[in-house]
Amino acid sequence: MSLKSGEIVEGIVSGITKFGAFIKLSDERTGLCHISEIADDYVKDINDYLKEGQKLKVKVLKIKDDNKIELSIKQVNKKSSYDKRSKNRTKAKPKESFENMLSNFLKHSDEKLKGIKQRDQRY
């Protein structure tokens, strides 16, 4: 089996270190999932997210010239940026008119300015 960048494959966690997790892939090769690619959240301890022997899906980010494999767990479920943009377009809310935005801005600015002037008069 030949791995390619961008592929999503199954693997088993074979080791956990402070900087990442080693994942044994189906072709008997092992790749590294760096701690920054474990989850979208801040990961302080990888053991809170993964256990040795756990089966999971990973995305192949890069296969280096020395055959080291960079993997990602957090990118498995992410859609492409194009999908996100098109999804946002279909659910877009109607935008407020420029005149309404300007009117609201001026109203809030006047209120803040009055509050500042009143505060300065007291001191």
Q: What is the pLDDT of residue 99?
A: 83
The number of beta carbons lying within 10 Å of the beta carbon of residue 21 is 28
Structure tokens at 45: 């301890």
Using one digit for the tens of pLDDT, what is the confidence trace for 88-122?
A: 554 555 667 888 888 888 988 888 888 888 888 87
Structure tokens at 56: 């999971």
Using one digit for the tens of pLDDT, what is the confidence trace for 53-85?
A: 999 999 999 999 898 999 999 999 776 444 544
Q: Where do the domains of the chain lie? A: 8-72, 93-122
DSSP state of 28: S
Q: What is the pLDDT of residue 81?
A: 47
Using one digit for the tens of pLDDT, what is the confidence trace for 17-46?
A: 999 999 999 888 999 999 999 999 899 999
Residues whose CB is less than 8 angstroms from the CB of residue 39 and which lie 6 or more positions away in sequence, other chains included = 49, 73, 74
Does position 12 have pLDDT exceeding 80, yes or no?
Answer: yes
For the structural domain made of 8-72, what CATH number should be given? 2.40.50.140
